[in-house]
Amino acid sequence: MKLSVVVPVYNEQENVRRLYQALRPVLVASRNEFEILFVDDGSTDGSYAELAMLARQDKAVKVVRFRRNYGQTAAMNAGLHLADGDVIVTLDADLQNDPQDIPRLVAKLDEGYDLVQGWRKRRQDAFLHRKLPSKIANWIISKVTGFAVHDLGCTLKAMRREIAQDLQLYGEMHRFIPILAHWQGARCAELETRHHPRRFGQSKYGISRTLRVVLDLITVKYMIQYLSSPMRLFGKIGLLSGFVSLSAGVATVGMKILQGTDMTGNPMLLLTVFAGFVGLQFLVLGMLGELGVRTYYESQGKQPYRIRDCLNLPRIEEKELGTTPALPASPRRAA
């Protein structure tokens, strides 16, 4: 089995070498082939020079450098798709994640899971502007998506290659990786991991991302529940608006007949027309969404499903069938 460790880096000059020195002995001790893939997200300090030096010293170190800062999600997406290990591990470059936890995460995969998410149960960060917002966000996300998880903000996780290759991340969606993987049929687990205080540099991400995360949560909720059939969402809203329009119209006519109320000055008439147009617009939007979904799947040769295993069937190209081939068993599991 080959391990790929993906590390997004942004202005972590003081940390990258220390992370490499802590990470490499752990990977060597695992007795697996490995690579360490650093993704430099447009750093403006000396991070890239440090990474280039590490790459010259060790062929297992691979470096991708962005032209500018695109954000952690873009760096994570690039790393996941460029890694070629059977198992892909992601962690931060700030030394707060502990490389010693990697073997435990990988071992957890051997129990039949496709993705194992780290849980910083004893998180070593400031309470007011880091821990408290994180707890609130995780609670809201769990309630909205129906996916029970304690710490979506933890970058440390391990996943099988086929799961990582299926992910397409935008915005701030790197924190939703377990939810997106679960939506595609992955078996997910959570494992408590260690967390250390930041020793060098400053955090690049804070409470200012809250609004973007909320907007991405709305997107994720739509994707996991309505992506394959948007008419289920927009059609419901359209029918509800139509019902309001019909009820207001009946009330308007009733008030005219029973009370002699002037229809032209009755606000219920305006509600009838407004709700009717809103309902029609949502129904049309639903139909356009249905056409867009079909174009999305058919133009890219994708299918709205994933296949875990096939028995007594000829092997078919992954892209045609949307399959997720089984990961070769590690030596420990085979034993």
Residues near 294 by beta carbon (within 8 Å), at least 6 away in sequence? none
Q: What is the pLDDT of residues 6-65, one digit of tens each?
A: 999 999 999 999 999 999 999 999 989 999 999 999 999 989 999 999 999 999 999 999
Position 101 scores a pLDDT of: 93
Decide: residue 23, CB within 10 A, 0-12 exposed, 13-18 middle, 19+ buried.
buried
Identify the pLDDT of residue 325.
44
Plot region of 279 (φ>0 → left; ψ -120 to 50 → alpha; else → beta):
alpha
Instruction: Answer whether 168's CB lies under 8 Å from 245's CB.
Output: no
Segments of the chain with pLDDT less than 50: 316-335
Q: Which amino acid is at 93?
A: A
**What single DSSP character describes residue 200?**
S
Q: Looking at residue 203, what is its pLDDT?
A: 63
From 62, 196, 193, 217, select the one nearest 137 (Cα to Cα).
217
- The proportion of the chain whose per-residue pLDDT surpasses 90, expressed as a percent, equals 39
Q: What pLDDT, on the 0 to 100 scale, is given for residue 280?
A: 92
Task: Look at residues 51, 55, 120 and name the one whose alpha carbon lies nearest to residue 91.
Answer: 120
Closest among 263, 272, 264, 266 to 245, alpha carbons compared: 272
Q: Are 150 and 138 in contact (CB under 8 A)?
A: yes
* pLDDT reported for residue 188: 92
Predicted confidence at residue 149, as pLDDT, reads 79
Assign residue 6 a region (left: φ > 0; alpha: ψ between -120 and 50; beta: otherwise): beta
Q: Is the dihedral of CA 83, 85, 90, 96 positive or negative?
A: negative
First to last CA, the chain: 14
Euclidean distance between CA atoms 261 and 291, whole angstroms: 45
